[in-house]
Amino acid sequence: MITRKLARRFGAVPDDARFAPTPRVRPLADVAVENAAEGCVRETYGAAVCWWQAERARDPGIARAMARIAREETSHAHLSWALAAWAEPRLTRAARTRVAHARSRALEELRVDVDRDVSRVLVTLAGLPPRASARELLRRVGHEVIEAREA
């Protein structure tokens, strides 16, 4: 809803969300692997970026929207880490290895994603972190992810 309003404000016509059907019950290891990459890594990094934008966006509407989204993303990240803390001790050694690899892969994919120039307009207006800042945010998130994995 928040992003849809922003998109419309800037002249975009957002598509409706589509969801793929998923099986009712999935193996815990599969859930843990997906949670490691999507929740623990991407949601955590996404929350960091949203907080960055909330503090730096020059457009007040974008700053307010990003603060709200940042709170939501932070709660998603907390949920993912809580799920990881509950699920991972219940997994086999092989499954825990899959989870660790999923986290590492997600961090590597993000390193490629953040290694791109960002439009000055988006840096200024929307507060997106420029390349060097995005790298530093990811370095910090990566450090936290690695520490959590070793705990």
pLDDT in tens, 51-99: 999 999 999 999 999 999 999 999 999 999 999 999 999 999 999 999 9
Question: Residue length, the chain?
Answer: 151
130 pLDDT more than 80: yes
151 pLDDT more than 60: no
50 pLDDT more than 90: yes
Cβ-contact 54, 70 below 8 angstroms: yes
- Cβ neighbours around 3 below 10 Å, total: 12
Global pTM reads: 0.86
**Residues sharing a CB contact under 8 Å with residue 86, sequence separation 6 or more, in sequence order:** none
